[in-house]
Chains A and B, each alone.
Chain A
């Protein structure tokens, strides 16, 4: 059974880069699926950030696209999220997730989430 686990700093300063990693166990990320990120805050609710496949296809939320990068590290079976130039509105619980790659647009498996606060 696939399991996803987020990790990274819980506090980021404004204008800096938020970096998170999602370790995957029970499935090789190079074998298929899309791997992505979402976040949830009281202000913005649940927000899809983007996904990437092992073959390099990536799709991003248009409102975040200019500041976000998702990358896969198949050697470590993990994937990462970077959000540039963060502000307090980027404060949220961040989830990593797995999305089917056959045209089914839903999040099939989720990590437990990690709270990231943006504050000086």
Chain B
């Protein structure tokens, strides 16, 4: 199974909104609402910010939102802040193998 496809990098200025896409197939992203997003800062473990496409864990800012259309999921960060800079990964449940698949990651730069 191939990794989910994410853009290598995105950037935005403080206060702006950015969207990161995550493209899979009908066997993963497109089949179930089991897409999650993780934020990772240098030297730290990933932290879940979105699960089940659009749900936010307690304590995660409402500036983070998720959506899905067909085989592509998206993470939107509104009101960009310097602390949002880091790497973002999507993941999806894969029905045929009962496993979890990750995207290659997207580096967000806040200009």
List residues of A whose CB falls within 8 A of some B CB. 45-48, 50, 59-63, 95, 103-108, 110-113
**Contact partner of A104 among B34, B92, B101, CB < 8 A?**
B34
Would you mind naming 29 contact pairs between A and B with Cβ atoms under 8 Å apart? A45-B89, A46-B102, A48-B91, A48-B99, A48-B100, A48-B101, A48-B102, A50-B99, A59-B98, A61-B100, A62-B1, A62-B99, A103-B34, A104-B34, A104-B52, A105-B34, A105-B92, A105-B93, A106-B34, A106-B36, A106-B48, A106-B51, A107-B36, A107-B38, A107-B48, A107-B91, A108-B48, A110-B46, A111-B45
Report B's interface with A, CB cutoff 8 A. Answer: 1, 3, 34, 36, 38, 44-48, 51-52, 57, 89, 91-93, 97-105
CA distance A108 to B57 in the complex (A): 9
Please give the distance in Å from A27's CB to the nearest CB on chain B: 16
Docked-complex contact B100 and A62, CB < 8 angstroms: no
* A113 and chain B: residue at smallest CB distance: B45
Highest count of chain A CB atoms <10 Å: which of B45, B46, B101, B102: B45
User: Out of A63, A103, A105, A108, which one reaches B100, CB within 8 Å?
Assistant: A105
The interface residues of chain A lying within 8 Å CB-to-CB of B45 are 95, 110-113
Closest to A105 in B: B93
From residue B108, how far is it (CB to closest CB) to chain A in Å? 16
